[in-house]
Amino acid sequence: MLVMCCIFAAASVPVVAAEPMRCELQFSAGQWSVQHRTARGAGELRCEDGRRLPVRVSVKADGDALRIDAGAASFSGVEDPRDVIGAYVAEGDVGGDLAMRKGAIALRVTATGDWWQRGGRPGTLVIAAR
């Protein structure tokens, strides 16, 4: 009887979904691969709830050699910092930023460096945990 009571009590506990939050990513990507048309680098994700996540980044683009010295990305719709892991696809420019998306998570990217200043924009951005 006690076992049935405990099982029923555990089953009736409501699961609270995390509220979507904003996270910021600071990164650099300077290891250019001509063969893959990709620059690789690293960064750190910082979220509103104080959690941090070190990440690797891979930026794929056509055209000239790509180097991002000081990249910044702002995510919205994040429930857990690990949710940002994955591939983002470019949707278009928003002012000087690039809008990207992976499912429900939206991302705006900006950067410094000659490539970015000349109008270079990535087609995809892949983020992986370090």
Give the confidence band of 78 by pLDDT, cuts at 50, 70, 90: very high
29/10 Cα distance (integer angstroms): 47
Residue 39's beta-bridge partner residues? 32, 59
List the domains of the chain with CATH numbers: 20-129 (2.40.128)
Which of 41-45, 59-63, 85-89 comes out lowest in average pLDDT? 59-63
CB 108 within 8 A of CB 99: yes
User: What's residue 15's pLDDT?
Assistant: 46
**Segment 104-122 mean pLDDT:** 83
> Are the beta carbons of 22 and 47 closer than 8 angstroms?
yes
| Mean pLDDT, residues 56-84 taken together | 88
